[in-house]
Amino acid sequence: MRPSCSAFTKLVSIAPPFYVSPSSVKSFAVPGFNHFSIPCRKLVFQYNQVAVSHEGLREYLRTSVIKLAKDNPHTEIVVRSAESMRTPTVSAFYTNGRWKSVSLALRRPDTVARRVAKFLDASGEKIVHLKRTPIVPGPLSESARGMWSGLHLPQPVNL
């Protein structure tokens, strides 16, 4: 038997104006369909207000960082002032625990935008060079030039 609406309101004892503290709210990742999270979780810009080599990053921050934050609500964006002797940098922190950082000294704002877009699109995984990977010899490993099979020809081989 289905409970009536009045029975349901009696079971729920929370008053309409209630407060939930942010520290008590927890979210859990659920693998499956429609549960994709962007790997880049945080971008940190470091720049100086007076250094000449920081001009491109300062212009990018003046014109585009608000739009970047609105377009990427899943990514935390931090802007810090750096010491005068340091180069301007952008660092990306990923959900897998890795991070990448690059210097933006003497770069134009469009170059900064391309670098930020690369960081947002990256997965954070280490880059593996396939060209220089060694071939491990053995009976179960693949050969350097592939494997020939007479069964995978358009015409069978007559022996």
pLDDT (average), residues 2-30: 51
Structure tokens at 115: 């670098």
Q: What global pTM score does this model have?
A: 0.63
Q: Is residue 43 part of a domain?
A: yes
Structural domain that includes position 42:
37-121
* Number of domains the chain contains: 1
Single-letter amino acid, residue 21: S
Q: Is residue 24 part of a domain?
A: no
Q: Is residue 128 part of a domain?
A: no
Q: Is residue 91 part of a domain?
A: yes
pLDDT (average), residues 48-67: 94
Q: How far apart are CA 99 and CA 107, in angstroms?
A: 21
Q: Is residue 15 part of a domain?
A: no
Torsion 142-148-153-158 (CA) sign: negative
Q: Where does the chain show beta strands of DSSP type E? A: 40-47, 76-81, 89-94, 99-103
Which CATH number belongs to the domain containing residue 63 in this structure? Answer: 3.40.30.10
pLDDT at 14: 46
Single-letter amino acid, residue 63: T
